[in-house]
A and B are shown apart, each in its own frame.
Chain A
Amino acid sequence: VSCGMAGEEEFFLEEKRFKQYCEDLVKHSQQIGDGWEWRTRKDLGDGYLSKTHFQVRNRHTPPDLKEKNNDNNEQMLCAHVEEPLDDSQATGLCSTEEVVRYEYHVLYSSSYQVPVLYFRACFLDGRPLTLDEIWGSVHASYQARLQEGPWDTITQQEHPILGQPFFVLHPCRTNEFISAVLGGSPEHNRHTNYIILWLSTVGPVVGLNLPLSYAKLAPQESTDADLA
């Protein structure tokens, strides 16, 4: 199935609806203290969702056992346990705790008429994490999901509003999986928050989780007239 083909099954997201869904997400986020906010730029009036959170990463440095075979490994481990140990060597592991600042932005792509997830991470001294370093903190099962998921790749791109490098999940096939998940008629789907649905699927792949309470958001009573 190729991306972007026009068809009745395609459920494209209009920009006004995008803003409305984001507004609803932010309202709920404020209620539960989840940290999402809407940022606008005065010059053009467009905006984006933003969330920053800090995470402590444990970096474990295991003993260098790579060149030894299994027997030797056992001997090494036993040796570690039996020898008198001082505090820093108690477990044979060196763990460095580091604080990492993660930033997630949700922007609207008018070219593809879908939301797009931008993200970046840096240490407190400002040094940015590479994509590999970010991957290190993503659970293995989500790493597998990335390979089979409806996105071509994660690439580094310029943030269209801030002009700085971010990592981006390519939006090319977003509509494919959204349409598959939503199914049903557009009338019914108007009450489903597309952004919450989409973000709950793509977010965890890059370390971003949505608490379950978002799923219970009351459908908005807004009509087309409100959004016109």
Chain B
Amino acid sequence: MTDDKDVLRDVWFGRIPTCFTLYQDEITEREAEPYYLLLPRISYLTLVTDKVKKHFQKVMRQEEVSEIWFEYEGTPLKWHYPIGLLFDLHASNTALPWSITVHFKNFPEKDLLHCHSKDVIEAHFMACIKEADALKHKSQVINEMQKKDHKQLWMGLQNDKFEQFWAINRKLMEYPPEDNGFRYIPFRIYQATTERPFIQKLFRPIASGGQLHTLGDLLKDVCPSAITSEDGEQKTQVMIHGIEPMLETPIQWLSEHMSYPDNFLHISIIPRPTD
């Protein structure tokens, strides 16, 4: 039986093989070769694509280059969503490598947040962590930490340092001995077919009688269409980090072991492939 700590490592080190291709209408001085990269599931596009940017800028003139943005099959990719979430939501049942198109012009102002520097990514990442702790601990744990601890969480993510990150993050995963879990579970449920970007609600991990709520309980409460079977068939998949956890899994356990570094469970509801 796998140790729970192994799950933390498997989540952290998950990778998606990706092929970046320059958009055909971008103006280049010579032909742009595609660029291949293993993307960390737990990170953010604009944090890990410096090499991609450099590679394509080599064949372009300076004046043709403004803010980089990424697109998959016509959909602009939100850099502020973790990479693994974007893949699970848009491309999990397609052939690898994941094909992403790179743009340097016509930034889609209505769809994407700007990302002018790494500071913007850090601010977004820390805001998510703070919100997660507001839900789990009324912000008490994150507020008791020093600035250098906050910095260590960000540096751990930025530099892909599992131990450095978890030295601090483990405190965000603790709870008082008299409780059996967090106050509320930080989660977001995404469905590509809906207009609303995600569903987020208050949800307690422990029922009033003391039983542990499961993933199935969460979905039933917050997104029942995801698991009701029509014709007795399950039309959707419930995916976290590229796998379908059993619906009987306690949500408290999922929160502690399968959250992203921002401390949120990002859950994708996608159509089940019909092969």
Q: State A172–B143 Cα separation when bound (angstroms).
A: 12
Q: State A228–B187 Cα separation when bound (angstroms).
A: 26
Task: Give the dominant DSSP class at B's interface.
Answer: loop
The interface residues of chain A lying within 8 Å CB-to-CB of B135 are 111
B196 touching A158, Cβ below 8 Å = no
How many chain B residues sit at the interface, stated as a range, is 20 to 34
Q: Determine if B59 is an interface residue (Cβ-Cβ < 8 Å).
A: no
B143 touching A4, Cβ below 8 Å = yes
A2 touching B143, Cβ below 8 Å = yes
Q: Determine if B199 is an interface residue (Cβ-Cβ < 8 Å).
A: yes
Q: Determine if A164 is an interface residue (Cβ-Cβ < 8 Å).
A: yes
Point out the residue from A44, A112, A157 that lies within 8 Å of B113, measured CB to CB. A157
A160 touching B134, Cβ below 8 Å = no
A4 touching B110, Cβ below 8 Å = no
B139 touching A158, Cβ below 8 Å = no
Chain B residues numbered 69-107 whose CB sits less than 8 Å from any CB in chain A: 78, 80
The interface residues of chain A lying within 8 Å CB-to-CB of B78 are 158
Point out the residue from B127, B195, B200 that lies within 8 Å of A163, measured CB to CB. B195
Given contacts A3-B139, A5-B143, A112-B131, contact A164 B114 (CB under 8 A): no
Q: Determine if A185 is an interface residue (Cβ-Cβ < 8 Å).
A: no
Of the candidates B111, B139, B143, B195, the one having the most CB atoms from chain A within 10 angstroms of its own CB is B139
A44 touching B130, Cβ below 8 Å = no
Given contacts A111-B131, A165-B109, contact A160 B138 (CB under 8 A): no
A164 touching B198, Cβ below 8 Å = no
Q: State A43–B226 Cα separation when bound (angstroms).
A: 13
Q: How many A residues touch B, CB cutoff 8 Å?
A: 27
Chain B residues numbered 151-207 whose CB sits less than 8 Å from any CB in chain A: 186, 194-202
Point out the residue from B123, B130, B196 that lies within 8 Å of A43, measured CB to CB. B196
Given contacts A6-B138, A111-B134, contact A165 B113 (CB under 8 A): yes
Q: Determine if A66 is an interface residue (Cβ-Cβ < 8 Å).
A: no
Q: Which residue of B lies closest to A10 (CB)?
A: B138
B200 touching A110, Cβ below 8 Å = yes
Chain A residues numbered 142-190 whose CB sits less than 8 Å from any CB in chain B: 153, 155-165, 170, 172
Point out the residue from B111, B131, B139, B200 that lies within 8 Å of A5, measured CB to CB. B139
Chain B min CB distance to A98 (Å) = 17
Chain B min CB distance to A179 (Å) = 15
Chain A min CB distance to B134 (Å) = 5
Q: State A160–B198 Cα separation when bound (angstroms).
A: 7
The interface residues of chain A lying within 8 Å CB-to-CB of B199 are 44
Q: Determine if B247 is an interface residue (Cβ-Cβ < 8 Å).
A: no
B111 touching A172, Cβ below 8 Å = no
The interface residues of chain A lying within 8 Å CB-to-CB of B7 are none
The interface residues of chain B lying within 8 Å CB-to-CB of A172 are 130
Chain B min CB distance to A43 (Å) = 7
Q: Determine if B249 is an interface residue (Cβ-Cβ < 8 Å).
A: no
The interface residues of chain B lying within 8 Å CB-to-CB of A127 are 109
B197 touching A5, Cβ below 8 Å = no
B113 touching A41, Cβ below 8 Å = no
Chain B min CB distance to A171 (Å) = 10
Chain A min CB distance to B200 (Å) = 7
Q: State A64–B140 Cα separation when bound (angstroms).
A: 54
13 residue pairs bridging A and B, Cβ less than 8 Å apart: A5-B138, A6-B138, A44-B199, A110-B202, A111-B135, A111-B186, A111-B200, A155-B123, A159-B197, A160-B198, A164-B110, A165-B110, A170-B127
| Chain B contacts to A: CB under 8 angstroms | 78, 80, 109-114, 123-124, 127, 130-131, 134-135, 138-140, 143, 186, 194-202
